[in-house]
Amino acid sequence: MKLKNFRLLRFSAIKIALLFLGILLCSNLSYAHKLAPSLLEITETQHHKYQVLWRTPANAAVQPKPVFPLDCQLNEPDLTAVGTAMEWRWLLSCDKGLAGETLRIEDLIASRTAALVRYTSLNFPEKQSLLTADNTTYQFPVTAESERLVMQYAELGVEHILIGIDHLFFVAGLLLLAGNVKTLLKTVTAFTVGHSITLALVSLNILPQWSALIEFGIAVTILILAVELSVHKAQQASFLQRYQWPVAACFGLIHGLGFAGVLSELGLPKNDILPALLSFNIGIEIGQLLFVASLALILFVLNRLSTGFYKYARLLIIYAMGSVSVYWCLDRGISLAAELM
């Protein structure tokens, strides 16, 4: 009897701890998917005169801002709100021009975002570079040297999936749902095919983009998966278990719309749309595989140490998915309803 009471007490303590964790995650991750990289577009319109667009997430922890060379003058900016982002537009004049000069993005580290710099000169085609916490400065080219476009967009894709908590929750759910490696590979591949299709269609302006509805839909997919994992009994195959890869492909279509939201805010280079799109998608897959491999290894090690450790880790992931996805559904549902009214 004492042993039974102890087990009940321990299980209650675990539930309270998991609930507390869910609440904590909700408070910090309510905008997990919405933080897209900032965008700085500089277009030379006349000799040493430029149009500047600076777009940054409105809900960033700290608003980053570009700092131009000392001999450059800016007029008063025009400020507008565009979706979940804020846009500043300036006219920039530099006595010596920008060739060979350096700009930096202030507070990029504190904002927890990256920044894509896109520069178009009168002398050569558009060039761009991705700035991160490790590299917050950009040196304007002197000549039309080739740009590492593929690597930059691949890096952007890796970064987006690894900081997109909602996508990671869903992929973690697919891992827990799969009973073996073969099923996991099929399911993850189907998810990849699904999100690749809608990512391409939206990025090429074939499908429209409705951020509020997409964000709500992503939260719903995570909640459905969390409920499935929490109530499913091993001896009875559910609908999701019988049709894992078709369901993953369908849900992937929804998540692909979310991935496309990042590219729609950043834009794609006009002359290299397909290479940039393909590179971004490859980056997403690389980040996704890294996450799946890491989580699978952790769960494997825990299971080898003790089946109890594995069960608690699995329960922790499921409770976190459920708690946070419920919060996201409410939060994003309210935002969607506000747009519809």
Given a cut of 80, is residue 215 above it in pLDDT?
Answer: yes
Note the pLDDT of residue 331: 93
Note the pLDDT of residue 19: 52
Given a cut of 50, is residue 17 above it in pLDDT?
Answer: no
pLDDT, averaged across the chain: 83
Residue 131's beta-bridge partner residues? 115
Residue entry with tokens 């990671």 = 168
Closest CA to 50 of 103, 84, 94: 94
pLDDT tens string 47-61: 889 999 999 888 777
Closest CA to 84 of 60, 116, 112: 60
Note the pLDDT of residue 143: 60
pLDDT tens string 127-186: 888 898 888 999 888 764 445 677 888 888 998 898 889 999 999 999 998 878 888 899
Share of the chain above pLDDT 70, in %: 85
Annotated domain spans of the chain = 2-30+157-340, 38-147
On the 0-12 / 13-18 / 19+ scale of CB atoms within 10 A, 289 is middle
Range 33-50 average pLDDT? 82
Q: Indicate the pTM of the whole model.
A: 0.68
